[in-house]
Each structure stands twice: as C-alpha cells, then as structure tokens.
Amino acid sequence: MNYERIKEKLDILADAAKYDVSCSSSGSTRTNKNKGLGNSSSSGICHTYTEDGRCVSLLKILLTNHCIFNCAYCVTRKSNDIKRAAFKVQEVVDLTIAFYRRNYIEGLFLSSGIFKNPDYTMERLIGVAKKLRLEENFNGYIHLKSIPGASDELMREAGLYADRLSVNIEIPTEKGLKLLAPDKDRKDFIMPMNKVKNEIIQYKNDKRKFKNTPLYAPAGQSTQMIIGAGGETDAEIMYSSAYFYKQFNLKRVYYSGYIPISYDERLPAIGTEVPLLRENRLYQTDWLLRFYGFDIRELLTPEHPNLDSDIDPKLSWALRHLDLFPLDINKADKFMLARIPGVGLKSVNKIIQARRFRRLNWDHLKALGIASNRAKYFILCNSGEYESKDRTAAQIKGLILQNSTSKFRKTFDQQLNLFNSIN
C-alpha cells in the first residue's frame, strides 16, 4: 500500500466531504454478532462536534470527488479546477477498520461525486458497506449517501448493509435546481427516496411475521438542503421540508448554509455566507413541526415568508396570536401548553404531572424549569401577580429582548450599530 498516496487521497476527499452535515444521528440498533467488530446502539453514536457544529466522530469522506455534473453550488463540479482523487473500495474498508481499531471513529459516513453514471457509483458505495459487514464482520454505524438516479435494485441492496441512507435534495425548490444544476432532474432525487421508504415499510411488515427478516436501513433515511444558494425564502425551504417529512417518512432534514465558493453570477457573492443564525431558526422551526404539533402553515405564510432573526419561531407565532393568550397554566391542555413561549416539552409534562396535586403559582413554575422571562406574558397561574394582557406585540417583544441572553445577541447588536452609524 502506498501510504503517502492514501494520505493524499484522505486529505482531498475528507475536505470535500465537510460540506455535508447530514451525518449527526444514528438511532440504529445493530448488536455485535459472531464476535465481530463494534456495535451500534439505539442511543446513537457518541458524537464529537466541531466549533461550528459539524459532526466529526465518523470517518466522513467521499469515495471520489470526480463528478460528471456541473452544479454551480458544488465544490466538486466538473468545471472546478481542484485536485481530484478516488478511493478504491478496499482502501475505504481498510481505513475504516484501521481508524475504528484506533478508537478514532465509531462509524463511517460515505458519500461520493458521481463518476460514469449513478449506478456505477452506487455499486461501489455498496461494495464498501458489503465488505465491511460480510468480510470484516463490522457492526459499527454506516451511513451511505444514495446517488440520485440509482436503480431500485441497488437501493434495496444498500439498505441491507447501511444503517442510514440519505439523498441530498440539495436545492429546496425545483426552480432553484433548474437554475443552478440544469443537468439534474428532481425526479432522480425522489426515486431512491421513495424506494427506501417502501422498503422500510415492507421490512416492518415482514418483521411482524418473520423473526429473522434481515435488517433494512434501521436508522431510516434523511436528506439535506443547501440554504441560501438559490435565493429561496424560509417559507419555501420549510414547506419543502414538511413535504419530504410527510411523503417519505424522513428521520431528519438538515439545513446547510451555502458557503460561497464561486464567482458564478447565479450565486451569492464570495464573502456573503449564510448567517449561522438562519440555520438555527430553520432548525428551531423544524423542531416545532416534528415535536410541538405545529403546522408549517401556522409559522410561515405569504404575508410572513421569512423567520424573524431576533426572536425564535414560537415566540414569533405567539406574538401574532395574542388573542389566544393568556392561558391558565392550571387548565390549558397539553397541545396549548406546548405553544407557550419559554415552555419546552419536558416542562409541559412536568406541569401536567404537578397540577394534579396543587394549583401552580410562579414559584412552582420556575422550579419546573420554565423560562418565566418569556412565559409570563402569555400565562396566568395561581397568583395575583400577572402581566397585563393589554400590551401590544411590539411592547412584549421589546421587553423580552431587553432581557435576552441569546448567544446570537451580538449579531443583533452589530446590526444595530451599523444602522446607527448610517444615520
């Protein structure tokens, strides 16, 4: 083995993989068997994150950064003058095992540029997973990227060896994809995603009848969208996200802010990175959809197409629906309790349990962990002290922001200083 060449490939293909953020959860259960190597527990991989939130606990690489496509937003596009490299299947297998034995990683995240055609590339990705499972008896976590346009037969085989499969939607809207990646067809993204969904449903049905049904993608499937490359609104992003969650039973949708890497006039200029705050607001909205019972039509509308940068999406919704507040914390149902700003799901359950025994007052609520600096404008409790419901939304927002300790507060301050200097 030429170690210098392997190291060079690793430098190139690990760097090229850093733009993919959809590797941060497993949820897979794969126990060690036949005295094999490693396992993947249902509590997920023990992740390590870089300062900007990227997951680094997996061996995260591309099989190759050669690509037949020329997507404007992609660093591996065929017209980009960069160093190219490609691993052989056995090289990735050897690296994974070697890194695992040294306790550097707990699994493999393998993506790829597309060379020759989708099936040719997908066959090699599957080849890596197959060798790890069957020849190395590797029971650790494997996340394979599904190649858009790959055949159903290959997607079936991929799920037998990988814990998670994912297809990156890349651009949230079809018009954006046509503008920035005219060689690609959105149907090619949908086809493997649909196949994986159907195979997971089939696996669950078979499992009820046959105990020894082979595992199929036990950690499900996910996708990732690039944010800010196509000029889409937050509403367009999150409506797409809601659609994919509903249609394909996705475990997660990841949002990756576009980092300008090209002088292409179709793209944002170099130096205009998407603020991390925008990613944060999108993830907060995603959380509200998946766990708090919100419908996307409540959070983003034609009149309100973008998320507020200075307040979180739940507070923004509450300020637009002051007619629903204040709620009596001792009577409100679980659905509405979860909609109170400053009250998380854990606090909701604690409130429901605690009010069986007493009527709750402010001291009780603080002890249960609610953020009273926000919640106090939206609730009533067993106390004579309460905020006036006659305040306007702007007044409440101002009062909350005065006492805000958000880690993004510096961002607001910087924006305000710039505005002041202009005047």
Q: What confidence score (pLDDT) does residue 243 get?
A: 96
Measured CA to CA, the distance from residue 73 to residue 266 in angstroms comes to: 9
Residue at which a domain ends, from 272, 290, 325: 272
H or E element, residue 120: helix 118-130
- The mean-pLDDT minimum among 16-20, 181-185, 278-282, 371-375 falls in 16-20
In whole angstroms, give the CA distance from residue 108 to residue 141.
6
Rg (CA), the chain: 24
Find the helix or strand (DSSP H, E) in which 283 lies. Answer: helix 276-291
Give me the pLDDT at residue 106, please: 82
The answer to the question of residue 30 being in a domain is: no
- Is pLDDT larger for residue 290 or for residue 37? 290
Nearest to 159 by CA among 168, 150, 172, 169: 150
Q: H helices then E strands: how many in the chain? A: 16, 8
- Any residues with CB less than 8 A from the CB of 238 and at least 6 apart, and which? 282, 285, 286, 289, 296, 299, 300
Residues 350-363: pLDDT tens digits? 999 999 999 999 99
Rounded mean pLDDT, 263-281: 90
Q: Are residues 321 and 237 in the same domain?
A: no
Mind listing the pLDDT tens digit for each residue in 198-251? 999 999 999 999 989 999 999 899 999 999 998 899 999 999 999 999 999 999
Of 272, 305, 323, the one marking the end of a domain is: 272
Whether 370 maps to a domain, the answer reads: yes
The closest of 247, 144, 147, 249 to 192, measured between CA atoms, is 147
Q: Let me know if residue 34 belongs to a domain.
A: no
- Same domain for 215 and 339, yes or no, is no
Residue 93 near residue 61 (C-beta atoms within 8 A):
no
73 and 218 both lie in a single domain: yes
Which candidate, 24, 10, 16, places its Cα nearest to that of 224? Answer: 24
Strands 252-257 and 327-328: unpaired
Q: What letter does residue 300 receive in the DSSP assignment? A: -
Alpha helix stretches (DSSP H) within 131-212: 152-161, 174-180, 186-209
More confident residue, 374 or 413: 374
**233: containing domain:** 3-25+42-272
The answer on 235 and 177 residing in a single domain is yes
Residues 91 and 128: beta-carbon distance below 8 Å: no
Widest Cα–Cα separation across the chain: 77
Q: Per the domain annotation, does 259 fall within a domain?
A: yes
Alpha-carbon separation of residue 59 from 8, 62, 107, 239 (angstroms): 15, 10, 6, 32
For residues 152 and 233, state if they share a domain: yes
Note whether residue 179 is domain-resident. Answer: yes
pLDDT band, residue 121 (cuts 50/70/90): very high
* Alpha carbons 219 and 48: distance in angstroms, whole number: 19
Q: What is the per-residue pLDDT across 131-180, written as a single tens digit (0 to 9) for each?
A: 999 999 998 889 999 999 999 999 999 999 999 999 988 899 999 999 99
Of 244, 272, 300, the residue at which a domain comes to its end is 272
Same domain, 354 and 252: no
Asked whether residue 326 carries a pLDDT value surpassing 80, the answer given is: yes
Which position has the higher pLDDT, 66 or 32? 66
Rounded to whole angstroms, the Cα distance separating 82 from 66 reads 10
CA 347 – CA 365 distance, rounded (Å): 9
pLDDT at 25 over 50: no
pLDDT for residue 29: 59
Is 80 part of a structural domain of the chain? yes
**CATH number reported for the structural domain that contains residue 242 in this entry:** 3.20.20.70
Residues 89 and 225 in one domain: yes
User: Does residue 33 sit within a domain?
Assistant: no
Same domain, 16 and 121: yes
Distances (CA, A) of 268 to 108, 265, 273: 32, 7, 8
For residues 54 and 138, state if they share a domain: yes
Residue 422 lies in a domain: no
Q: Which residue has the higher pLDDT, 43 or 68?
A: 68
- The pLDDT assigned to 418 comes to 40
Mark whether 249 and 398 lie in a shared domain. no
Q: Tell me: do 317 and 267 sit in the same domain.
A: no
Q: Which residues contact 379 (CB under 8 A, 6 or more apart)?
A: 325, 326, 327, 328, 329, 340, 365, 386
CB contact set of 59 (below 8 Å; sequence gap of 6+):
95, 96, 99, 104, 105, 107, 108, 109
Higher local confidence (pLDDT), 262 or 337? 337
Contact 365, 329 (CB under 8 A): yes
Percent of the chain, pLDDT > 70?
A: 87
Structure tokens at 308: 């507020």
Mean pLDDT in residue range 393-419: 70
Residue 30's pLDDT is 65
3-state secondary structure 338-375: CCCCCCCHHHHHHHHHHCCCCCCCHHHHHHCCCCHHHH
* Among 173, 78, 178, 86, CA closest to 128: 86
Counting the structural domains of the chain, the total is 2
pTM of the predicted model as reported, rounded to 2 decimal places? 0.85
Q: Mean of the pLDDT values across residues 37-66?
A: 63
Mean pLDDT score across all residues of the chain: 87
As given in the structure block, the two tokens for residue 327 are 């709620």
pLDDT digits (tens, 9 = 90+) for 274-301: 898 999 999 999 999 999 999 999 999 9
Cβ(230)–Cβ(180) under 8 Å? yes
- Do 138 and 239 lie in one domain? The reply is yes
